[in-house]
A and B are shown apart, each in its own frame.
Chain A
């Protein structure tokens, strides 16, 4: 059986779980097995149909009042109990920040391997093992990893790597409740305070068009212009680490190895040189436009359309033109 650990907050599913269910369905076909979705929390019943529509044959509601607020200890304990009971062959989870914390915690407890941030998952025809392919060395190298002798075979996958498939409202599935035993366990971590950030705009992993700026933009005002362009295109602004470090754009909009991995339909890189750590976060975009005054910048080599020139002039004129078109 293939198990997908899903995440929810305030009753809302994180979409990476649904993306993984779609992938798990494909893998299950090759293995002729079933897909189980696991969802932890308190008020979660309403999520089961959505999980089934996206590919789950069974949904396990892991319900406990202790699971209302996430701490890695409690979630690891609850997940361990269900995994040990169900003994999945394959265990997939989203490589969100929390997933990247629970994943290794579970792997170490279950004495099994974990392949991080996979970009490709398939079943080997001969051995029926899961082939897990991931980037390393800041995206320079791809490695295909197997976990031949330990179970489950575990992988994390970043949001946006696998496409979100349409819901199939006719799919049927079983819904099971599991109450983990968390009584009498000594949990050491205490949540003292949580300060939610006010999110401006959409998460950059969820948008189809991204206008990203780098050090070449030179100022916060410059980013206002990129924002204007993004708004006109119905997209979002993002930035390189240099832009984030300069305080021109928020950290949750950083693209790259230490930021987000994005895969939009269109990525416009403006005044970004294309360091390998940046490319690691965006090179899977469907279409890349780079605007840079240096024709030799690495970003120009991977761009589908590389425009050499001063961004101020080009973006200024582009905004003008788009506004004109809007009027017409």
Chain B
């Protein structure tokens, strides 16, 4: 039987395009593109590589509003076999604890041998969801993967930390969070792009996942965002444009003040 791989992917605003209004100090999100979280694309690529090598069924699952479907179409266009959208108004405002609990239950429902996630999403920025999914499922997790190999029923994962490279192994099933250095995601393939729009996207909502409404969404989340704010504009600095010697003098003057 071929391996079943679940990839969890999140739709995120392209934070490279998000700007702060310098006067009001609020986030300008108008016209900001929504994209598949970059490291989730790495996770999907890794799943597709394992599929190319060993044969596998790759299921991409996202939780989000209906518009998150876009990244599922993109996943089909890259070569995914199945795409699932978890969407329910009850789930809105979920923190990482609740998000990972919902994703874990969906995984159980679908069935899997291996779960791949991105290391971190670029909007929430916590890098917690993948690791928490593993805990909810009671299976091992290896974070920051830069290489994945399968040998019989074990996965061998290479991961990179600041001061070392580790090679770890663990039996399936397990969760692996993928870092951007693991691979270079493939482009969408033209024949798949056409098909992608006609392929089925399964919807999972709470009538299937069956959580108590107090367990999920904002209500069920242990953490609550009390307020958000931007740092506001920074005090004016000095802009110097002119002679090089003067510029160098200015820099040298700035250094001893710092009491090096």
Contacts and interface: CB of A to CB of B under 8 A. Distances in A.
Contacts of B245: 317
Given A107-B128, A137-B18, A295-B239, A289 B254 contact: yes
A233 B170 CA distance: 47
Contacts of B169: 189-190, 192
Contacts of A304: 237-238, 254
Contact of B244 (A103, A266, A313, A325): A313
Nearest to B131: A104
A97 interface: yes
B239 A143 contact: no
A51 interface: no
Contact of A145 (B143, B164, B225): B225
A318 interface: yes
Contacts of A108: 97, 100, 131-132, 134-136
A191 B165 CA distance: 11
B248 A314 contact: yes
Question: Which of under 10, 10 to 19, 20 to 34, or 35 or more describes the interface residues of A?
Answer: 35 or more
Interface centre among B120, B136, B143 (most CB of A within 10 A): B143
B34 interface: no
Nearest to A284: B231
Contact of A113 (B95, B127, B160, B238): B95
A287 interface: yes
B163 A197 contact: yes
A165 to B, nearest CB: 18
B21 to A, nearest CB: 11
A123 interface: no
A193 interface: yes
A29 interface: no
Given A136-B123, A276-B18, A314 B244 contact: yes
Nearest to A116: B126
Contacts of A146: 223-224, 226
Contacts, number: 237
A141 B15 CA distance: 11
Contact of A305 (B143, B163, B164, B250): B250
A53 B93 CA distance: 42
A117 B254 CA distance: 31
B144 interface: yes
A47 interface: no
A303 interface: yes
A243 to B, nearest CB: 15
Chain A CB within 10 A, most for which of B120, B250, B258: B258
B244 A309 contact: yes
A322 B252 contact: yes
A104 B171 contact: no
B221 interface: yes
Interface string A255-280: 00110000001101000000111000
A72 B141 contact: yes
A199 B139 CA distance: 34
Interface in B212-227: 221-227
Contact of A105 (B20, B135, B226): B135
A209 B129 CA distance: 35
B124 interface: yes
B241 A309 contact: yes
Given A146-B223, A266-B255, A309 B247 contact: yes
A326 B165 CA distance: 40
Given A189-B170, A192-B168, A321-B248, A114 B96 contact: yes
Given A112-B222, A196-B164, A295-B239, A143 B227 contact: yes
Contact of A307 (B224, B228, B251): B251
B125 A137 contact: yes
B206 to A, nearest CB: 20
Given A115-B223, A190-B168, A306-B239, A136 B132 contact: no
A309 to B, nearest CB: 6
A109 B252 CA distance: 53
A216 to B, nearest CB: 16
B254 A138 contact: no
A307 B247 contact: yes
Interface in A289-328: 289, 295, 300-309, 313-314, 317-318, 321-322, 325
A300 to B, nearest CB: 6
B97 A233 contact: no
A268 B258 CA distance: 13
A122 B93 CA distance: 24
B180 A258 contact: yes
A100 interface: yes
Given A141-B27, A192-B156, A194-B164, A111 B97 contact: yes
Q: Give the 5 A-B CB pairs with smallest separation, nearest first.
A: A113-B222, A108-B135, A113-B223, A104-B128, A138-B15
6 contacts: A113-B222, A137-B15, A140-B20, A142-B230, A195-B165, A301-B237
